[in-house]
Amino acid sequence: MIYYKTHDEIEQIRKSNLLVSACIAELAKIIKPGITTMQLDQVAETFIRDHGAEPAFKGYKGFPYTCCLSVNAAVVHGFATDDELKEGDIISVDTGVVLNGFVGDSAYTFALGEIPNEVQQLLRVTKESLYLGIKKATVGNRIGDIAWAIQEHTEKKHGYGVVRELTGHGVGKKLHEEPEVPNYGKRGSGIKLQDGLVIAIEPMINLGKKDVFCADDGWTIVTSDGKPSAHFEHSIAVRKGKADILSSFKPIEEAERLNPNLFSANVPADAPVAAL
């Protein structure tokens, strides 16, 4: 069953999502070669708890960490480890909070230092596809319109692999609510979007093939060909005319810009989707 939110509930979800954005921005300040993903996870948990919230991921179906930290060929759900990040790595930081009973969920992929042009383009195109999907998240459209926009830009236009096994989802009092929001599909298919629907749109796009497998830890999803994967996610509310983006990349991109260890994907913060 799909749970449509009231104005007040959406404002609570916005507060949760802005806290997630602030948390990812905090990590963006310290990501550098030599730091471990375990250190990043510990900083994130402390930040979330210090701001009166609980990590939404930790303990969810047994997941043991505050963040999903997925490096290079890891698509999503990566475990924090004591392995050090290095120059040329990319890392998806995906995390969530529960604040006043409502969930926030967002993700951003960072690049450490110099990365190949093809990986730079992967990050840029994946981020663009998120905003193109958001552009379709308006009253009267359908879930398939979001999915088609993402697939058209990433797979059809640029030849990337769109992960089939994982999707976006509803967000509210639970981390994963109905409906599923795939990143591939047909225009005009799926449920009709109505005012008050809150969903997380999250393209997971591979440089190579779409195929993935689950690592031995039972969680980390990895590309089958070992090529990098990018992941960006916003939580949004469906509205008439234009979607309402509840999370924000602005503080993340500002921290990214000021951190000399990071490369920017070069798509404006909360880009005006009509321009893409």
CA angle (38, 129, 17) in 5-degree steps: 50
For residue 195, give the nearest of 35, 5, 58 by alpha carbon: 5
Residue 81: φ, ψ to 5°: -140, 175
| Cα 104 to Cα 166: distance, rounded to the nearest angstrom | 18
Name the phi and psi angles at 28, rounded to 5.
-60, -25
Write the pLDDT tens digit of every residue in 233-271: 999 999 999 999 999 999 999 999 999 999 876 555 555
Tokens of 135: 């552009």
State both tokens at 72. Answer: 């290079």
* 137-150 core/surface letters (b: 16 or more CB in 10 A; e: else): bbbebbbbbbbbbb
- Report the pLDDT value the prediction gives residue 103, as an integer from 0 to 100: 98
Contact residues for 201 (Cβ-Cβ < 8 A; gap 6+) = 130, 133, 134, 137, 146, 150, 168, 181, 233, 234, 236
Strands (E), 26-66: 54-55
- Which of 127-141, 159-173, 259-273 comes out lowest in average pLDDT? 259-273
Q: What is the pLDDT of residues 2-20, one digit of tens each?
A: 999 999 999 999 999 999 9
Mean pLDDT over 159-184 rounds to 98
| Segment 140-152 mean pLDDT | 98
User: What is the mean pLDDT of the segment spanning 82-99?
Assistant: 98
Q: Tokens 């009253």, residue?
A: 139
What sign has the CA pseudo-torsion 232, 233, 234, 236?
positive
Judge contact between 13 and 102, C-beta under 8 A: yes
Burial class (CB in 10 A: 0-12, 13-18, 19+), 7: exposed
Q: Phi/psi of residue 177, each to 5°? A: -120, 170
Rounded to the nearest integer, the mean pLDDT of the chain is 95
Q: What is the pLDDT of residue 274?
A: 44
d(CA 149, CA 136): 8
Find where tokens 């008439």 sit: 240
The predicted structure's pLDDT at residue 254: 96
Domains of the chain, first to last: 7-269 (3.90.230.10)
> In this predicted model, what pLDDT tens digit does every residue of 186-234 receive, in sequence order?
999 999 999 999 999 999 999 999 999 999 999 999 999 999 999 999 9
